[in-house]
Structure 1
């Protein structure tokens, strides 16, 4: 009997050890495994980021985007600032007061009282931040982040205070729908100014924020946002399939409801890298992985895994690539690296994660707004994996 008893104990121990190992393996390779980024690290980075880039006064704050003594900001930056602040609040730091200050700045710089899209740029002039007439047009990516951040704020704090986040979000979403979504392709345009026969067909690939469009649909009970989400994902998949690398250009054209794609030439929209994986497209791994993190889309998972496989084969991740995978620059930049590290954690690429996690959690630039801000946003998203 004693012999049998010990056999049972030994067998039980073996099972428990095997189970523990299994759990460890699962957590290592699970597509949505828990992030090992500590809250302390994230909070320290957030404090560094706010000190380096938030400017303004007690009523309004904005995100400084330039290095000069005269401040400049963009609607893109304001969207990031609002998103970062509410995501930080979700994790126990980041205050409603700061979010409200950022929101008031957005409201102050709506294109007009009839158009709640944000003017795409402001510069410091005298004692105020002002937009020229030419700058009172929109950039869709900024408006999308602002709208999404307002929804998160409504979910976090409610809308019974001074600022009615729900009303602001729905008003902005209505304007985005009417002015920044192509009525034929049901895809985001680059801005409200894109009304010509060609400009209206241009798509900034990093604007294909499927997770946002799913959220907009459920928040507003408006099924047209579901169509935008579906077409965005279809286009992302098509573009992914066009290259063995899975890389996509900063901009493409889409002219029909069948989502037939066309290419953009160099310097045709924003820069010489318009037709390459540049400083716009570098955000795609973050945006698409976020959709998998929240909604578990298998299509998003496949798109991101393909990109991760490409980057895992590179000796280092540098800034800007041709779509076939040739590095255009030799330097590295956190705007390119940190979205990949976050994506690797979400879809389960332990090799990329182990090689580059120190970039995500490491020292943040206090002078380069764009890479520092993308690092901050992806760090917050990363620390929320598995929660």
Structure 2
């Protein structure tokens, strides 16, 4: 062996990212000390780890499937859209799946094979508009093969996790792949003036109905954007974080001062900032301006920035929202409705419990020192309850946070 060449490769790997390794550098469990954590569930660390592993095994068995082979005979994997539509896959699910298996490396010896197979599937299904991004639904549903912001942002974040976990000198150069996707997100799905996330690469930033001031609020991912800036050195991501803070502060002040709830989608009040909740049927349905099945992810996304980075702005947001949720439910998570108007009124016909809304609220509760009983109650009703792909994927990612096994790349 040419040892000089070998050490040169190691040096280059150190410049590009983590040194290459067959074994995970941050195997599960990690037991991360979060700068912004105030409380944790009243269970032992071993119990929390075991709960995550048990949940992961069910998630993997139900939703992670092989999706053929590439030209070189290597397997592709995908995450199914739902148990009722197993033939469908969305980019959002691919991002969730890639993050999950990267975090579970070490506990699952197949994690790297699964991660690479998921990424092969992503690459095999590009958007027709910006092929560096993924087409949001596969097979395409006839509405256009274009991207969705959240799927690609989670895929980029997962690639950063993979670079830290395994290095970037294997089959996939994770660091280079992350740089390419971040460049595409910046160019094709970030408002050139607003610095807000676009709904996808299909949006004209200057469009009349959908534009750079019509975001999906659950696409506000402050911890992701912090990691993207740390990795790339691009000041854009600091500007994106400043823009989403401005948007959230305006929405809360004007529309949810007592609850801290956010709408699924927002529109400009006139042009540009400030924003208002979207009109009914703006994009997906009659509850587009309510705290519904997109915005339910908001406490997870914002709470992550508090836990991982101790962010004071998002801590204040989570304090209001988390205390409202505890009070509105009387401290009983099973009384949480599956959707609310921004004033805290439950949406009619949504008076049922789902882990989708409860698990992110558990993450938010971890940021508040006076909500131990509320956190424990939330944990008890989510840690072993399974529903479908969307609810279970969001719940599992929150369980990783709640168990102190979610780390920043």
Question: TM-score per shorter chain, which class?
Answer: 0.7 to 0.9
1:360/1:61 Cα in 2 relative to 1: closer, same or farther (>3 Å)? same
The equivalent residue for 1:221 is 233
Q: What's the offset of the Cα at 1:257?
A: 9.5
1:56, CA displacement in angstroms?
Answer: 1.5
Mapped to 2, the partners of 1:90 and 1:229 lie a distance apart of 33
SS in 1 for 2:259: coil
Number of the residue aligned with 2:217: 205
| Structure 2 partner of 1:76 | 92
SS in 2 for 1:89: coil
Which has the larger helix fraction?
Answer: 1
**Structure 1 CA distance for aligned equivalents of residues 88 and 150 of structure 2:** 18
Could you tell me whether the CA contact under 8 Å between 1:247 and 1:277 is conserved in 2? yes
Separation (CA, whole Å) in 2 of partners of 1:255 and 1:69: 38
Deviation digits for residues 314-342 of structure 1 (CA, Å, limit 9, x no counterpart): 23211010111011111011111110012
Question: Which has more radius of gyration?
Answer: 1
- Map 1:89-128 to 2 at 5 A: 89=105, 95-112=111-128, 115-122=131-138
| Structure 1 residues 230 and 85: alpha-carbon distance in aligned structure 2, compared to 1, 3 A threshold | same
Cα distance change of structure 1 residues 203 and 94 upon mapping to structure 2, 3 Å threshold: farther
Q: Does 1:336 align with 2:357?
A: yes
Map 1:1-387 to 2 at 5 A.
Answer: 31-34=37-40, 36=43, 38-57=48-67, 59-68=75-84, 71-89=87-105, 95-112=111-128, 115-122=131-138, 130-131=139-140, 134-195=143-204, 196-200=207-211, 201-242=213-254, 243=256, 244-254=258-268, 259-315=273-329, 316-328=335-347, 329-348=350-369, 349-365=371-387, 368-384=388-404
Would you say the 8 A contact 1:88–1:380 is kept in 2?
Answer: no
**Hey, what's the Cα distance between the residues in 1 that align with 2:269 and 2:174?**
35
Distance 1:300 1:133, change over 3 A: same
Determine the structure 1 residue equivalent to 2:28: none
Name the residue aligned to 2:16: none
Which secondary structure does the structure 2 equivalent of 1:146 belong to? helix
Contact 1:266 1:274 in 2 (8 A): yes
Give the distance between the partners of 2:396 and 2:301, measured in 1 at CA.
Answer: 14
Q: Does the residue aligned with 1:61 lie in a helix, a strand or coil?
A: strand
SS of the residue aligned with 1:253?
strand
Q: Is the 8 A contact 1:110 1:117 kept in 2?
A: yes
- Quick one: structure 1 residues 192 and 69, their matched pair in 2 at CA, closer, same or farther if it must change by over 3 Å? closer
1:347 Cα deviation from its structure 2 partner: 3.1
CA distance in 2, matches of 1:221, 1:75: 26
Q: How far apart are the structure 2 equivalents of 1:249 and 1:101? A: 35
- SS in structure 1 at match of 2:341: coil
Partner SS for 1:178: helix
Aligned 8 A contact 2:156 2:178 in 1: yes
TM-superposed CA distance for 1:360, in Å, is 2.5
Query: Given that residues 251 and 262 in structure 2 are in contact (C-alpha distance below 8 angstroms), is that contact kept between their aligned partners in structure 1?
Result: yes
* Deviation (angstroms), 1:386: 9.5
SS of the residue aligned with 1:55? strand
Unaligned runs of 5+ residues in structure 1 are 1-26, 123-129
After TM superposition, give the deviation of residue 160 of structure 1 in Å. 0.5
Structure 2 residue runs of 5 or longer lacking an equivalent are: 1-32, 68-73, 330-334
Contact kept? 1:43, 1:93, Cα under 8 Å: no
